[in-house]
Amino acid sequence: MAQDPSDSVPARHRPWTIITALLAAAVLVAADLALKNWAQINLTDNRVQPLIPKLLAMRWVENHGAIFGIAQGQRLFFIAATIIATAAITWIFVRAPVRHRFLQVALVLILAGALGNLHDRVWHQFVRDMLWLFPQVPLPFNWHWPGGSNELYPWIFNLADVYLVIGIAILIIRSIFIKPPAPADPN
């Protein structure tokens, strides 16, 4: 079966591709912000709200850093880095051929995650985190993480972080398993 020649057209020449991506990113950001708002109203008393026992809970954390709480207090750096990353993501998206669906999905997820956390850094001065995997499940053999925690997964995150991790995972998997097409023979 021959490939549709319009699949090689960059997304910028397909307005519906861009509109769909923007709508998807907007829905994802809205879900992230809605959950953050709910958590800020309902979880700020430092209680743990179990969702699935021993698997998933919610607990309010104000993260003044990045993933895993690194680089605390570097708000302006992260705002600038996010703006630059957003511009790069947009540039890559509009130039990528529409046939690169996995790339488009990954970029939309990364964009939504970046914008959700950017919103928090700009409007709240910190990122609002609340999702907790394996709450209060200890590491085996009485081990401890650097910093003293003995919990299997002590980090608390948000939906924007989930979008970022899934988007980056798609990019990694795509780069490993999907090879670029061979250049056309000029003869």
For the annotated catalytic residues, the residue numbers are 129, 161
Domain limits, the chain: 13-177
The whole-number pLDDT of residue 1 equals 46
pLDDT band at 40 (very low <50, low <70, confident <90, very high): very high
Cα 62 from Cα 76, distance rounded (Å): 16
Q: What is the mean pLDDT of residues 4-14?
A: 62
Tens of pLDDT, residues 104-149: 999 999 999 999 999 999 999 999 999 998 888 888 888 877 777 7
SS3 content of the chain, % helix, strand, coil (to 5): 55, 15, 30
